[in-house]
């Protein structure tokens, strides 16, 4: 509670300083992208390609893709939850043991024995994206879903998502999710940016894969998969519990002092090119995605780096805005503060906007969730084109 109060105070103070202009703008060095590459190499992951392939679609409604690394404490619980699902949809479960050094592979092997619709694949440790991609390559369902091995699914996970998909002929169906930190659990509303908690029409992955060797892999969801979707349906049904586990990748990404966090910037640069390669032309949507990734997320994920490096990251964001013709007038609210800061090369304002965003987003999320409760009942679905999505 004290930590939250401090964040609120910092955020409101930052907002007042930005509005009054009560701060000093810093002089910045020249932008030198090579200085970032010297710290962490830039190898574009090329998430879009005509060479990707899947198995031929069979009489399977849903392929459930589960990457597993050192998940001996949680994986069987998840698999048992899948087994208990009451559904008439035909499923297959593809589990990829990503070079686990504990008993994960052994436990899964014992569980899948005798279950013809469960498939276990072993590979050397290559990361979450590579494991998901292996599952995609070997899938044959009409729809795909992704579940992390330390998460849990709710009763009705399959039935709720797939009923909405088939009834509405949807490309993507997004459910609600719970977030659990230790003993604390809360309902967080619709799953938007993450890959889990939804089902995708498998054909969306004909030319798309997750960025292997990269952190922040779920960025392809909003950059590529969502704009490709002709119809996205949201359901007011909690379908998954996302567990924040000590030592998990998401924890490491935010707490580690490593130049690998530069992959946040690198992935934005690469996905912009992938967006254009797919022939997507909605500039307004692309600009919103760029702003989203270059604002609070960029500040937060690189905050443990040294000041010299963070300023080069900020200047890289400015370069991205220039190259894509992004204007501040396209945005409002806290997004406008970020856009003004990036376009005007105001590094101090960029960091203060991130402090204010903690306050802004917290109250915005509460308001948006209250509105969603009024708009949706547990049995009501609504669909919208991606251009109209938040």
* Predicted confidence (pLDDT) per residue in 25-75, tens digit: 999 999 999 999 999 999 999 999 999 999 988 899 999 999 999 999 999
- The helices-and-strands tally (H runs, E runs) of the chain is 15, 10
Q: Which domains does the chain have, with CATH numbers?
A: 2-44+251-374 (no CATH), 62-245 (3.90.550.10)
Residue 218 falls in which region: left (phi positive, over 0), alpha (psi -120 to 50) or beta = alpha
Q: Which residue has the tokens 């390609």?
A: 49
**pTM for the whole structure:** 0.88
Question: Does pLDDT of 116 surpass 70?
Answer: yes
Taking residues 308-335, what's their average pLDDT?
97
Whether the CB-CB separation of 301 and 254 falls below 8 Å is answered with yes
Q: Using CB atoms within 10 Å of the CB of residue 296, give its burial: 0 to 12 exposed, 13 to 18 middle, 19+ buried.
A: buried
pLDDT bin (cut points 50, 70, 90) of residue 369 is: very low
- Euclidean distance between CA atoms 143 and 200, whole angstroms: 5
Question: Does pLDDT of 371 surpass 50?
Answer: no
* Predicted confidence (pLDDT) per residue in 230-272, tens digit: 999 999 999 999 998 765 444 444 445 699 999 999 999 999 9
Question: Does pLDDT of 388 surpass 50?
Answer: no
* pLDDT recorded at residue 183: 87
Whether the CB-CB separation of 28 and 309 falls below 8 Å is answered with no
Task: Give the max Cα distance, the chain.
Answer: 68
Taking residues 102-117, what's their average pLDDT?
98
* pLDDT recorded at residue 386: 32
Better-predicted residue by pLDDT, 82 or 388: 82
203: which DSSP letter? G
pLDDT bin (cut points 50, 70, 90) of residue 373 is: very low
Around Cβ 283, how many Cβ atoms within 10 Å?
Answer: 12
Beta-ladder partners of 240: 153, 177
Question: Does pLDDT of 274 surpass 90?
Answer: yes
């Amino acid at each position: 509670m004290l930590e939250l109060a401090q964040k609120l105070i910092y955020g409101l103070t930052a907002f007042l300083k930005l509005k009054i202009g009560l701060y000093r703008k810093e002089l910045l060095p020249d932008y030198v992208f090579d200085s970032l590459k010297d710290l962490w190499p830039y190898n574009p992951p090329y998430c879009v390609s005509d060479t990707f392939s899947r198995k031929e679609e069979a009489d399977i409604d849903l392929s459930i893709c589960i990457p597993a690394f050192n998940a001996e404490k949680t994986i069987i619980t998840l698999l048992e939850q899948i087994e208990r699902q009451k559904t008439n949809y035909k499923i297959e479960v593809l589990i990829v043991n990503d070079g686990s050094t504990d008993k994960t592979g052994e436990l899964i092997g014992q569980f899948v024995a005798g279950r013809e619709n469960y498939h276990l694949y072993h590979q050397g440790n290559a990361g979450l994206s590579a494991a998901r991609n292996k599952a995609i390559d070997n899938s044959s369902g009409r729809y795909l879903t992704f579940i992390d091995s330390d998460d849990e699914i709710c009763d009705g996970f399959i039935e709720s998502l797939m009923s909405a998909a088939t009834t509405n002929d949807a490309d993507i169906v997004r459910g609600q999710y719970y977030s659990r930190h230790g003993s604390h659990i809360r309902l967080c509303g619709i799953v938007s940016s993450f890959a889990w908690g939804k089902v995708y029409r498998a054909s969306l992955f004909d030319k798309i894969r997750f960025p292997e060797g990269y952190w922040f892999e779920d960025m392809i969801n909003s950059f590529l998969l969502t704009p490709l979707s002709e119809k996205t349906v949201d359901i007011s049904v909690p379908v998954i519990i996302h567990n924040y586990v000590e030592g998990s990748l998401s924890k490491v990404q935010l707490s580690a002092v490593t130049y690998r966090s530069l992959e946040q910037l690198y992935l934005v640069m690469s996905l912009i090119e992938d967006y254009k390669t797919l022939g997507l032309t909605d500039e307004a949507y692309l600009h919103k995605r760029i702003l989203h990734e270059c604002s609070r997320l960029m500040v937060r994920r690189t905050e443990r780096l040294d000041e010299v490096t963070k300023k080069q990251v900020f200047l890289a964001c400015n370069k991205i805005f220039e190259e894509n013709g992004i204007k501040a007038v396209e945005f409002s609210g806290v997004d406008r503060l970020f856009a003004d800061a990036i376009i005007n090369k105001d590094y101090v304002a960029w960091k203060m906007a991130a402090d204010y965003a903690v306050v802004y987003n917290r109250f915005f999320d509460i308001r948006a969730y209250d509105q969603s409760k009024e708009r949706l009942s547990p049995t009501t679905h609504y669909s919208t084109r991606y251009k109209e999505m938040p």
